[in-house]
Amino acid sequence: MRIATFSTQSYDRQFLDQFNTGHEIKYFELPLNEQTASLTKGFDAVCIFVNDTANKEVINILSQNGIKLIVLRCAGFNNVDLPAAKEENITVTRVPAYSPEAVAEHALALILTLNRKTHKAYNRVREGNFSLEKLMGFNLHHRKVAVIGTGGIGRAFCKILLGFGCKVAAYDVSVDESLIESGVVYGTLEETLAGADIVSLHCPLLESTHHLINTQTLKLFKQGAMLINTSRGGLVNTADVIEALKSGQLGALGLDVYEQEGDLFFRDFSEDIIQDDQIARLISFPNVLITSHQGFFTKEAMEQIAVTSFGNIDAFHKGQQLLNQVE
């Protein structure tokens, strides 16, 4: 099959080339959107990532160009208009899990860095400043951590927290009995957030979870609590979080995802003026740590993404059962 692959970086090409099962791949650094969808003419499938856009308009163009398959090389599919794809008879597949431990470990890295201020200590020591002033953190042991969403990543994160001796509270529409047996306590969203020193988001972005963290839910947070989001940027109302940081209701914020990340992440703007005022404001806070959708980025995860993506392509090409089809 001829596959147009969008939003590709050098590392994408490295792993996709390594695990290619015999397909013709054309790489585009550009994201898929209304302006670039015309590039798909002459291809059989498109392969896209988290910040590509496959809305109704894009899907109409894909259909006109003969595209029959959208291959998501990620777990989330909120960027695809599934009814439009079904109407145009375009199949959509995804990678439902690619090393959940990678994202869970990154969430912990954000927590430890914000808490123990290792990023600030690193910069201080490089400048010859060995003072400990304003570097004090707190023990994670016996602290309450609220985990919102206990799918594959949330489950892995809970297990890590239990190893640290944390009191783990969880909220999810589906209860994981194995986590309960391990000591995780499920409750309502209000019960889970109440008294938590850290709140970590691990749920998908759906209509019901859009802006889950907003002015009202932030009022349920313990004064000075830490918020971590390694899931989807749209779970958090950025403007409301900025106000909570300014008032001190929120004590620290760690983000690996951002509502408007499609205009920023995976690209170098070091010589440019960033036009996004909200992320510029967030970067200015001393108690905010932002990474650019790095949580998934391990060798193991990249291998799994490539292997599963080509497995989905091969199954479609051969008319076999699609285990990872999104409907």
233 Cβ contact list (under 8 Å, min separation 6) = 205, 255, 257, 258, 259, 260, 261
Dihedral over Cα of 137, 140, 141, 143: its sign: positive
- Amino acid at site 162: L
Q: Is 133 exposed, middle or buried (0-12, 13-18, 19+ CB in 10 A)?
A: exposed
How many CB atoms sit inside 10 A of residue 140's CB? 18
Could you tell me the strand order of the sheet in which 24-27 lies? 24-27, 2-5, 45-48, 69-72, 91-93
Active site residues: 232, 261
Phi first, then psi, for residue 20 (nearest 5°) are: -60, 130
Can you read off the two tokens belonging to residue 259? 């509502």
Q: Please state the length of the chain.
A: 327
As a whole number of angstroms, the distance between CA 275 and CA 161 comes to 37
Buried b (16+ CB within 10 A) or exposed e, 80-102: bbbebbeebebbbbbbeebbbbb
Query: Do the strands 144-148 and 288-290 form a parallel or antiparallel pair, or are they unpaired?
Result: unpaired
As a whole number of angstroms, the distance between CA 315 and CA 84 comes to 22
Q: Quick one: how many helices (H) and strands (E) in the chain?
A: 12, 12
As a whole number of angstroms, the distance between CA 16 and CA 302 comes to 9
**Inter-residue contact 193 to 218 (CB < 8 Å):** no
